[in-house]
Structure formats: structure tokens, C-alpha cells
């Protein structure tokens, strides 16, 4: 299909040479929710060579309002988001290599995923993962693009190791932590606006137009008609432990990792096993059914009803316990069924 990228190539800042660069690049997207699915869709249509998408969750009905790659059938099948995304993206552009990874991102996994990529896009929903991305970006010298949204508010910032302040530097100046939770709800236009900023910067980086990469921190409130563009050059801290003269990459250290997490904006606790494991889901389903529990699932996960709670178990031993924010209760359910 020689015409496929013709309109993009007619844009002088990209051209045929830029399109060839885009086709040669590998982008890692952390998260396949609202921001992740939108970024993945645009970059797939733009013809990126390879796209790795990693996410820990599966498609739920409440996702359909703003997560553009998913449909009702994905909800019925409880498909992991990355599996549903890969299926849809392959239909959009079969020339793009889509690598779908079902996982909760920790530093060890992140290093495996990031090795050899040209760009990392933040589409996650928690700051533990974002700070790990930030440190890994600095360690491996990979650009990354921060993005967050809640309610009608969004923000984005592009981080180039060795040139711009990192996210750890920014935390001293901007209260971005408040953007990690969707308890205030979300409207789809706010999501789309963040995606616009992230993917535009992504294309600049992929074609290596470094001169035009935005160096400011963008924030906006669409409902209240507010838009802010902040210069960040003075935020760079030479003593920063992530990007300073003597980096220690603190957010890649195991002691800073959470094994149990209350998922933002949801009545759900995630539990990660302390060691690597691989469950045989079919055998586990039989065992749980023998206990009198209601079990359903697919090749990627099991859904188990435990009284008023629902436990979703993934192959790697990770589980989402729905219907509670009580960490002790969640752990008790997990250990009772999985040991």
C-alpha cells in the first residue's frame, strides 16, 4: 500500500525520510488503558516499526467510555487489555509488529522491556511505576513522555535524559501526584487531549526532530477553559538521585516496591507474589471448582467468586481482589486460595 502514509509524508517535518525513521523505531507503552490505547492506535496508524504494550489489567465495562480500542465483546470475554489491543491494532495495520505483554511492571520487568527501545510512553495510573520509568529512562538513556488525566484536567511532559529535568526534579516544583487517581471521574476529551500532546511529541522524537521537541510542562482544564505552559529548565537539580551528577536510581531498588496495592479509583486490591511463578490455570480452575467456587476464565486469567468478592488470577500469580480496599482482607482471600 504505497499510499498508506502519503498524507503523513506530505507533512514537510516528516517527509519520506522521516517516515522511514518511524518505520525503523520501537516504542514501549506502559499501560493499555485510556492513554495507552489512544497512543497505541495513533502510532500504529502512523506506521511505527514495533510497538510493545504492557498492562496488568483486563477490559471492564467502565473502560468503554474512554478506552478507544475496546468493544463490548472484550468485556464479556474478560480479555486482558493488551490481548484485546493487539487484536484490534493488527486489524488497523498488519505491518506493525505488536508485542503484547500481560504483566505488572516492576524494575526487573521494565529493564527487560525497555532494552533496545527508542521511546517509552507513560500511560500508567500510579506513581510507583512512573518513578521506575523515570529512573530506567535515565539509566538506559531513553526518552520518555509523561502523561496523566483526571476529571477534565490533563498534563504532559517530555523527558530527554541528559537534557531536560526528570520527573524526580519536577516533583519539587509541581504537585503532579494529585493526577494519579481517577476517583474524580474522567471525561474522554481530557484523555484525548493528553494523547494529542503525547503522540505529537512521540512523532518528533521518532523522526529525530530534536529542535522542535517541547521542553515545557503542559497542563490544562478543558471544562474551565484553562491552559498552562510552564518552562522547566530551572527545575533541573544537579543533586537529583535520578538524573544528577551521582545518580543512584532509587526507584529501581527492591525496597521501594509495593507488593500490595489499592488500585486507584477502584474498590480493588492488587497482590503480587514475592517470587516468580507460573500458574497452570486449567488445573487451578479444577481445584477451585472442587471447592464449590464459581470459576470462569480464558487462556489468560481466571475469575473466581468468593462470597461478596471477586478474585481475578493471572498466570504470573498476580491477583486482583475486587470488592474491597482492605489490604488484610485481600491478602487473606489470596492466601486462602493460592497459598
Residues taking part in catalysis = 181
Helices 188-206 and 15-23, axial angle in degrees (round to 10): 100
Question: How many whole angstroms separate alpha carbon 103 and alpha carbon 93?
Answer: 24
b (16+ CB within 10 A) / e for 111-143: eebbeebbbbbbbbbbbbbbbbbbbbbbbeebb
Chain-centre distance for alpha carbon 23: 22
Give the Cα-Cα-Cα angle 238, 241, 243 (nearest 5 degrees).
60
DSSP secondary structure, 234-290, as one string: GG--TT-TTTSSS---GGGSGGG--SEEEPTTSSEEEE--SS-----HHHHHHHHHH
Q: Which of 218, 209, 215 is nearest to 236 (CA)?
A: 215
Contact of 135 with 110, CB cutoff 8 Å:
no
Amino acid at each position: 500500500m504505497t499510499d498508506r502514509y502519503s498524507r503523513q509524508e506530505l507533512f514537510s517535518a516528516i517527509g519520506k525520510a522521516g517516515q522511514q525513521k518511524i518505520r525503523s523505531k520501537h516504542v514501549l507503552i506502559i499501560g493499555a488503558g485510556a492513554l495507552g490505547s489512544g497512543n497505541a492506535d495513533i502510532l500504529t496508524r502512523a506506521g511505527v516499526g514495533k510497538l510493545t504494550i504492557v498492562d496488568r489489567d483486563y477490559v471492564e465495562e467502565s473502560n468503554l467510555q474512554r478506552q478507544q480500542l475496546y468493544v463490548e465483546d472484550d468485556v464479556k470475554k474478560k480479555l486482558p487489555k493488551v490481548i484485546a489491543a493487539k487484536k484490534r491494532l493488527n486489524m488497523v495495520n498488519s505491518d506493525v509488529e505488536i508485542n503484547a505483554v500481560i504483566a505488572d511492571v516492576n524494575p526487573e520487568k521494565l529493564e527487560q522491556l525497555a532494552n533496545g527501545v527508542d521511546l517509552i510512553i507513560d500511560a500508567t495510573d500510579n506513581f510507583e511505576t512512573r518513578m521506575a520509568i523515570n529512573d530506567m529512562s535515565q539509566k538506559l538513556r531513553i526518552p520518555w513522555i509523561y502523561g496523566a488525566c483526571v476529571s477534565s484536567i490533563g498534563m504532559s511532559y517530555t523527558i530527554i535524559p541528559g537534557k531536560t529535568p526528570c520527573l524526580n526534579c519536577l516533583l519539587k516544583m509541581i504537585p503532579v501526584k494529585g493526577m494519579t487517581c481517577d476517583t474524580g471521574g474522567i471525561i474522554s476529551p481530557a484523555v484525548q487531549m493528553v494523547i494529542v500532546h503525547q503522540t505529537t511529541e512521540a512523532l518528533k522524537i521518532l523522526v529525530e526532530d530534536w529542535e522542535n521537541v517541547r521542553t515545557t510542562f503542559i497542563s490544562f482544564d478543558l471544562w474551565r477553559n484553562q491552559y498552562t505552559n510552564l518552562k522547566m529548565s530551572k527545575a533541573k537539580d544537579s543533586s537529583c538521585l535520578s538524573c544528577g551528577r551521582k545518580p543512584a536510581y532509587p526507584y529501581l531498588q527492591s525496597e521501594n516496591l509495593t507488593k500490595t496495592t489499592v488500585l486507584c479509583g477502584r474498590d480493588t486490591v492488587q497482590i503480587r507474589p514475592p517470587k516468580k511463578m507460573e500458574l497452570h490455570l486449567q488445573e487451578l480452575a479444577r481445584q477451585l471448582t472442587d471447592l464449590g467456587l464459581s470459576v470462569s476464565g480464558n487462556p489468560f486469567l481466571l475469575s473466581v467468586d468468593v462470597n461478596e468478592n471477586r478474585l481475578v488470577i493471572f498466570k504470573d500469580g498476580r491477583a486482583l481482589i475486587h470488592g474491597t480496599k482492605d489490604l488484610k482482607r485481600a491478602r487473606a482471600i489470596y492466601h486462602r486460595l493460592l497459598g
